[in-house]
Structure 1
Amino acid sequence: MLDMVKQWIWYDWIMLGLRLIASVSLILTTIRFQEGLALPLWTVIFLEIAAFSIPWVCLQLNYSYYLFAEILLFGGLCIHLTSLFPEAYLTFLVSAFLTAANSAHRSYRWTAPATVFLLPGVFHAVAPSNGYWFMVTYYGLAYVMGFAFHLLIVNHRQNTTIRQQNKVLEQYMSQIERITLAEERNRLSRELHDTVGHAYTSILMGMETLRSELATDTGSQRLDALLELGRQSIEDVRRYLHQMESAQQSRSLVLSLQQLGDEFQAHAQVEVNFSAYGEESPLSRQAKMTFIRCLQESLTNAVRHGQATEITVTLHFGQQYTRLEVQDNGRGMEEWREGFGMNAMKERAMNLQGQVSVYTKPGGGTLVVCNLPRPAEEQADEHIRLLVADDQSFIRESLRTLFDKYPDLNVVGLAEDGEQAVDLCESLQPHVVLLDIDMPRIDGVQATKLIKQQWPHIRVLILTTFQDTDQALDLLRNGADGFLLKSAAPLELAETIRLVHRGGTLIDQEMSHKIFERFEGGIPSPPLKAAADYELTDREVEILQLVAKGLRYKTIASKLNLSDGTVRNYASSAYIKLGVNNREEASQKALDLGIIH
């Protein structure tokens, strides 16, 4: 009840004030003329207090209950007093006003006749000295004034709703503008990186090969000058690409989330409290944008669906995970229904080996938790041996040039096709192999299969334009440890290599979209269809199969050449999708659905 009173608006206090004034006046008048009462004074005062409080309590629960209680209790009290004091019929004028003000929908069909015509008839019957049509005019005016007050209330509520919706729309427009600008910057960055950057690298490599053919000192000097100009130009392009990052991307995660909360608070007039704990660790651009999008969606849902007035945002920097929690005081819901925005958030997190969880209950608000694994710190003595396989020479040389600025990434070999990549794996024993899909003689799919069969410890990262979803699915089944588009930024590519080298798995978001579209558009076999219905990935199904056999997470990690944490992430994600709490329930449900055998 107290929570309801806290949400009252000015018109609620006006109606309570009128009711208090009418009730107190009635009690004082009763005390003054107590000699004429047919019942004991304390009994009449008790009835007057009940006629005041009971309808008011009913009004907080349901307006229909209030209307019946008001007419029956207060109206009955007024009839009794009118039988003793004919002028007491005027007491019900305030009730007529309040009855009209709190009526709604079809209730007018019976409250208006009962208040304006029926009760005056009863008052006239118990006190014939009161003119019937005179009382009808009085109660009619009171009822009309109450109805006008009701229209004023409705208009105020509608204006408030419109203002709130406008603020939410303004927030949406602001978000869309940011997303559009960010996507356009990313597109231009990819275009420049894929065209100008690779062209410069190819020119540099081509001029390097001409050095042995120049015999004069003048020719060597001119070549050196051209090489210096080319290197300076490509550095200028790289600096330009870094400058194209939006302010949101260049700021720290804490500042970005805090500013987002402040802007939402200003636009939506909702109190947003932000706090961060732990030492902030550097995150990839993809991880940072995942947290930003998660907070944007959670704030909007809290106001739009939960009608929250206060939101608490907490960011935790742990040793292994970075966690974002968004708690609101909204109305919550019995069963959470995920929309497009929430599915997109979960997909972003899963692409980074993380997860998004939602906890809600009616009247208890909603809690959204986004967990992303923290990238392992780079070791000073760590050196990752790389083998690059691509049928385009300028791509190979470009990658070598890009990796030269990272002391922990060492390109030990270059392969022109899958067959040469397999041969070099035997002689060079690289830690990570970067493979293109479309290559002559042996393509990336077959090369991945051969490498994983002979050297399971070698990690395979597919670097491609991702045009063929069937090949991508084959690569997943053959043990590929990650996918990344060739348009990825150098820093993102370097971080992906480190993640894959340490046992993680990463699939680019654009690739995951295409894989989901492949399942939605095709007609998979019954086990694949059952898995697709629950949005289970091939890796999650594989881990469910091994879990059903009773294997422990460490054993599964060793068998699949994954880290223990990665296996736990896959298993946890599969449990959430299946709606189960432990491995026993997951195994049984997967068997019942035919996902595993």
Structure 2
Amino acid sequence: MFDVVKHWFWYDWVMLFLRLLISASIILTMVDVQGELTLPLWGAISWAIIAFSVPWFCLLLNFKYYLVTEMILSGGISVYLTHLFPDAYLTLLMPAFMIAANSAHKSYRWSAPMTILVVPIMISIVSRHNTLWVMIVHTGLAYAIGFAFHLLVVNHRQNEIIRDQNTVLEQYVSQIERVTILEERNRLSKDLHDTIGHSNTSIIMGLETLRLELPTTAGQDKLDSLLQLARKSIDEIRGYVHQMESPQDRLPLVESLQQLIEEFQVNSNINVRFRSFGEESVLPRQAEMTFYRCLQESLTNAVRHGQATEISVSLQFELRQTRLEVQDNGRGAEHLQEGFGLKAMKERAYNLQGQISVYSALGEGTIVTCTLPRQVEMPEEVIRLLLVDDQPFIRESLQTLLERQGDLHVVGIAEDGQQAVELCEQVHPQVVLMDLDMPVRDGISATQMIKQRWPDIRVLILTTFQDKQKALEVLQSGADGYLLKSMEPRELAETIRLVHRGGAIIAHDMSIKLFEDLEQFQKKPEAQFVETKTSDDYGLTTRELEILQMVAQGLRYKTIASKLYLSDGTVRNYASSVYLKLDVRNREEAVQKAVEIGLL
């Protein structure tokens, strides 16, 4: 009830004051004439108190409940008092005013006749001293005043809504304008730098090479003049580029977000708390702009859609990633619909190998989390690759596609499994992309040899075949992934990075077929006794064992992904790999077997 009262406006307090005033007057009058009352004084006062409180409590729940209780209780006490004192019909005027003021929608069709006609008729029946049409006129006038007051209240509420919406729209338009200007500034400055600036630099370098070919004084003077003009031009271009940079572009990320929050608080009157954790590191401009846009959109949505009154923002600089979290206390939504802004946020994060996650529930507000990996280009972070395939065109195409990535470097190419083993000893790759069907030595036997001799080398099977039996043999041989060559180059590069970090992955189409086929692989009755083994015996990585433990706790994939800062698809791939290595069909069987063999 307190939460309802604290959102009252001035007219709500006026109505409460009038109710208190009229109820107090009736009670004092009853005390003054208690000798003429047919009811005991305590009964009459109790009736007055009930007539004051019960309709008011009903009004907090539903206006229809209020109208009914007001007519019965307040109308009843007016009829009773008028039976004793003819002029007491005036006590009906305030209830008539209140009924009209609190009627809504189509309730006027029955509340007005009941208040203006039915109750006065009942009063005239019990009191012969009053003229009916006089009571109807007085009651109708009170009802009309209450209706006018109701229109005033509705108009005030509509104006408040319009003002709030205008504030949100002005803020949203301001942000869109700022985003548009920033994007245009970035585009123009980049174009100037990459086109005209590059052309002027080329002109200067070209003119410098001509200096030795112009031995005459006039030629030297003309060359110096052209060089001076070109240098002056490129200096002016640099000045334009720097002038185009917005203040937000020149600020560090933390200060930029703080400035955005301060402007938002001034325009929206919403309390926003900001905290930063960890040591601030230098991020790429695209990453900073992604965080900036994510915060802009989250703040706007919190007010525009969630009607939040408090927002909490935290920025965390971690070892391998940077995370921005925006949490509000708004209404939330059971089924969140992705609008243009949210889709744009996710696209920006996806382009930087990051992710946007949104959690929202009715009455619990909304949490928006933007996570971007730390992209630090360091020589030691380059992943060394060995390509193994018997098709020259495939080898050359893979090398061309993968070496476009700054952190992937092909250190060797092999035509078959035997060459792959020999090259592993020579070039020491970190990840091997292995074909299956090759002459001399196939991919499965080569993987087994590599894993036995160099367990730290990650082997990723890349094949055109969707053979379920071969997939099982590959995983049993120790391979860290099984993919199809039809996947997109970008997805392949991300998979290589994932496998290099210790993950394991299986092509989605293949995993579905494997799980369907595993239903036919039931354990034999004589194999009921299972030895206690370790995760190494089943080839489980540290990350896979961690996810298995969370699965055993009953956590869903989305929850696990949120805790480990991974995508939902990545967690599902890890789980699929665990199920295959444990030779089970689902999470229940995986947990049961993990307990039996001592992994949990």
Name the TM tier (shorter chain): 0.5 to 0.7
The residue identity in structure 1 corresponding to 2:310 is E
2:107 partner SS: helix
**TM-score normalised per structure 2:** 0.65
Give distance in 1, aligned partners of 2:577 and 2:32.
75
Over residues 512-533 of structure 1, what are the superposed CA-to-partner deviations in whole Å (9 max), with x where a residue is unaligned?
Answer: xxxxxxxxxxxxxxxxxxxxxx
Give distance in 2, aligned partners of 1:337 and 1:196.
44
1:313 partner SS: strand
Instruction: Show the counterpart of 1:481.
Output: 493
Q: CA deviation at 1:46?
A: 2.0
The residue identity in structure 1 corresponding to 2:567 is S
Q: CA deviation at 1:162?
A: 1.3
The alignment status of 1:269 with 2:269, answered yes or no, reads yes
Instruction: Show the counterpart of 1:325.
Output: 325
Change (3 A) 1:159 1:582: farther
Change (3 A) 1:179 1:479: closer
Q: CA deviation at 1:354?
A: 2.3
Contact 2:99-2:143 within 8 A present in 1 as well: yes
1:4-19 map, 5 Å: 4-19=4-19
Contact 1:100-1:112 within 8 A present in 2 as well: yes
Q: CA deviation at 1:53?
A: 1.1
Give distance in 2, aligned partners of 1:587 and 1:87.
87
Over residues 375-430 of structure 1, what are the superposed CA-to-partner deviations in whole Å (9 max), with x where a residue is unaligned?
Answer: 44x66x859799xxxxxxxxxxxxxxxxxxxxxxxxxxxxxxx979969x99xxx9
Over residues 179-216 of structure 1, what are the superposed CA-to-partner deviations in whole Å (9 max), with x where a residue is unaligned?
Answer: 121121122123223322443465577679889x9698
Give distance in 1, aligned partners of 2:180 and 2:320.
32
The alignment status of 1:142 with 2:142, answered yes or no, reads yes
Instruction: Show the counterpart of 2:256.
Output: 256
Contact 1:79-1:126 within 8 A present in 2 as well: yes
Instruction: Show the counterpart of 1:533.
Output: none
Over residues 36-61 of structure 1, what are the superposed CA-to-partner deviations in whole Å (9 max), with x where a residue is unaligned?
Answer: 22332222222222211111111111
Q: Which moved more, 1:126-135 or 1:252-261?
A: 252-261
Instruction: Show the counterpart of 2:86.
Output: 86
Give distance in 1, aligned partners of 2:263 and 2:4.
28
1:101-500 map, 5 Å: 101-200=101-200, 202-203=202-203, 237=237, 240-376=240-376, 432=408, 476-477=488-489, 481=493
Give distance in 1, aligned partners of 2:573 and 2:83.
69
Instruction: Show the counterpart of 2:48.
Output: 48
Stretches of structure 2 that go unaligned for 5 or more consecutive residues are 385-394, 411-431, 436-456, 459-484, 516-538, 545-559, 587-600
1:273 partner SS: strand
Q: CA deviation at 1:139?
A: 0.6
The residue identity in structure 2 corresponding to 1:35 is G
Give distance in 1, aligned partners of 2:236 and 2:158.
56
The residue identity in structure 2 corresponding to 1:293 is R
Change (3 A) 1:431 1:352: closer
Higher relative contact order (CA 8 A, sep 6+): 1
Q: CA deviation at 1:356?
A: 2.0
Contact 2:316-2:323 within 8 A present in 1 as well: yes
The residue identity in structure 1 corresponding to 2:273 is N
The residue identity in structure 2 corresponding to 1:269 is N
Give distance in 2, aligned partners of 1:269 and 1:87.
52
2:353 partner SS: coil
Give distance in 2, aligned partners of 1:32 and 1:207.
111
Q: Which moved more, 1:90-99 or 1:231-240?
A: 231-240
Q: CA deviation at 1:16?
A: 0.5
Contact 1:547-1:583 within 8 A present in 2 as well: no
Give distance in 2, aligned partners of 1:552 and 1:225.
71
Give distance in 2, aligned partners of 1:23 and 1:71.
15
Contact 2:499-2:505 within 8 A present in 1 as well: no
Contact 2:358-2:368 within 8 A present in 1 as well: yes
Give distance in 2, aligned partners of 1:476 and 1:155.
58
Contact 1:98-1:146 within 8 A present in 2 as well: yes
Instruction: Show the counterpart of 2:29.
Output: 29
Stretches of structure 1 that go unaligned for 5 or more consecutive residues are 387-417, 435-450, 458-472, 483-498, 505-538, 557-566, 593-597
Give distance in 2, aligned partners of 1:205 and 1:236.
18
The residue identity in structure 1 corresponding to 2:131 is G
Instruction: Show the counterpart of 1:496.
Output: none
Change (3 A) 1:585 1:340: farther
Q: CA deviation at 1:267?
A: 2.0
Give distance in 2, aligned partners of 1:342 and 1:252.
24
Q: CA deviation at 1:6?
A: 0.6
The alignment status of 1:573 with 2:585, answered yes or no, reads no
Over residues 508-560 of structure 1, what are the superposed CA-to-partner deviations in whole Å (9 max), with x where a residue is unaligned?
Answer: xxxxxxxxxxxxxxxxxxxxxxxxxxxxxxx998478569979867799xxxx
Q: CA deviation at 1:587?
A: 9.2
Give distance in 1, aligned partners of 2:574 and 2:22.
63
1:488-567 map, 5 Å: 542=507
Give distance in 1, aligned partners of 2:35 and 2:87.
16
Give distance in 1, aligned partners of 2:325 and 2:229.
50
Give distance in 2, aligned partners of 1:208 and 1:479.
46
1:105 partner SS: coil
Change (3 A) 1:586 1:51: farther
Contact 1:452-1:478 within 8 A present in 2 as well: no
Give distance in 2, aligned partners of 1:220 and 1:452.
59
The residue identity in structure 2 corresponding to 1:17 is F
Larger Cα-atom Rg: 2
Give distance in 2, aligned partners of 1:254 and 1:313.
11
Change (3 A) 1:585 1:307: farther
Q: CA deviation at 1:21?
A: 0.8
1:583-594 map, 5 Å: 583=575
Contact 1:290-1:349 within 8 A present in 2 as well: yes
Change (3 A) 1:170 1:205: same
Change (3 A) 1:9 1:222: same
2:298 partner SS: helix
Q: CA deviation at 1:154?
A: 1.0
Change (3 A) 1:154 1:571: closer
Change (3 A) 1:502 1:187: farther
Give distance in 2, aligned partners of 1:240 and 1:553.
53
Give distance in 1, aligned partners of 2:343 and 2:228.
49
Give distance in 2, aligned partners of 1:359 and 1:175.
24
Instruction: Show the counterpart of 2:389.
Output: none
Q: Tell me how large the CA RMSD over aligned residues is.
A: 5.0
Q: Which moved more, 1:344-353 or 1:7-16?
A: 344-353
Change (3 A) 1:552 1:127: farther
Contact 1:432-1:501 within 8 A present in 2 as well: no
Contact 2:505-2:573 within 8 A present in 1 as well: no
Change (3 A) 1:230 1:320: same
**TM-score normalised per structure 1:** 0.65
Q: CA deviation at 1:126?
A: 1.0
Over residues 160-191 of structure 1, what are the superposed CA-to-partner deviations in whole Å (9 max), with x where a residue is unaligned?
Answer: 11111111121122112111211211221232
Change (3 A) 1:157 1:571: closer
Contact 2:371-2:565 within 8 A present in 1 as well: no
The residue identity in structure 2 corresponding to 1:114 is M
Give distance in 2, aligned partners of 1:587 and 1:421.
30
Give distance in 1, aligned partners of 2:300 and 2:323.
19
Q: CA deviation at 1:247?
A: 1.2
Q: Which moved more, 1:101-110 or 1:308-317?
A: 308-317
The residue identity in structure 1 corresponding to 2:241 is L
Give distance in 2, aligned partners of 1:17 and 1:585.
70
Give distance in 2, aligned partners of 1:240 and 1:36.
94
Give distance in 1, aligned partners of 2:214 and 2:122.
123
